[in-house]
Amino acid sequence: MGTSSARRAPTTPLWRRAKAAATRYLAPAGAGAVAAGEVVARYLAALGETPGSAPGLAAFRFTRRVAQELGAFGSQAASLGLPAALAGWGLGELAAQPWTVTAQGLGALLAGAGGGLEEAVVRTSLAAILMDLQPGNCGSGPQGPAPEPVAPARLVRDFLAGALYVRLALDLGEPLEAAAADGAGWQKGLAGLRERIAGAARAAGAVAAPTSMAQWRGLPGWSWVTEVMGGMMQLLNEPGPAR
């Protein structure tokens, strides 16, 4: 059903519980069914005990750094328009390219060339979220001015949520796919997990977001991104309402 790229997760007790929750989440309805929130909560608990991995926020340090850069670019694109922002980041030649090409180039610049798991997750998440920066959605571009530019804070929240979702889908893809009755059920289940994470990202963090590229790249950006990511994970550690 499409999760052939999922990696085989560890087999520690908390990982076994996370996999069991994923199986029960997509298994045919019964007394043992669980909600999307429980799957995410058990996954975060398992992620924290992974041998050789940093727990909690530390496991997403690179993700948070890229989130700062995404906020910085989004801030510049919102104020100057997409072509000018691309030029300012050394990508001016991409302004006239089809957006799929532009997004790939921008994503490669933001994510870098690292080959680890977190870097791969970041690249996948950026590929999805950068479509929100199409010229018709952000400043003035080849398709003309947009009535409302995309808020950088929203882009960053969506990116952080997407990164956590992609990481979960990679780690729990095997039990999720095995438990799904069919492709439609599998897609619906993934959508439920994605929405649970996205909802927490929208609700997390109380500090005002940075308002300039310099702020996004500095301590205010790091503090805001860290608060949102930490708040999201705290909210997700609570199983939440039944589906």
The pLDDT tens digits for 149-166 are: 578 999 999 999 999 999
Alpha carbons 37 and 237: distance in angstroms, whole number: 8
Burial profile 36-62: b = 16 or more Cβ within 10 angstroms, e = fewer:
bbbbbbbbbebbbebeeeeeeeebbeb
Q: Which amino acid is at 66?
A: V
Alpha carbons 82 and 139: distance in angstroms, whole number: 6
Band of pLDDT at residue 42, cut at 50, 70 and 90: very high
Per the prediction, the chain carries an average pLDDT of 83
Alpha carbons 64 and 72: distance in angstroms, whole number: 12
pLDDT score at 143: 46
Residue 91 lies in a domain: yes
Predicted confidence (pLDDT) at residue 17 exceeds the cutoff of 50: yes
Predicted confidence (pLDDT) at residue 73 exceeds the cutoff of 90: yes
List beta partners, residue 145.
Answer: 140
Q: Give Cβ neighbours of residue 166 (< 8 Å, ≥ 6 apart).
A: 121, 124, 125
Which helix (H) or strand (E) element contains residue 189? helix 183-203
Residue 173 lies in a domain: yes
CB 39 within 8 A of CB 142: no
Report the range of poorest mean pLDDT among 38-47, 137-146, 220-229, 234-243.
137-146
Residue 146 lies in a domain: yes
pLDDT score at 218: 97
Token couple for 214: 């310099």
Residue 26 lies in a domain: yes
CB 169 within 8 A of CB 130: no
Predicted confidence (pLDDT) at residue 242 exceeds the cutoff of 70: no
Residue 111 lies in a domain: yes
Phi, psi of 141 (to 5 degrees): -150, -165
Q: How many structural domains compose the chain?
A: 1
Q: Which of the 8 DSSP states describes residue 141?
A: E
Residue 1 lies in a domain: no
Residue 222 lies in a domain: yes
pLDDT score at 241: 47
Give the structural domain span for 138: 7-243
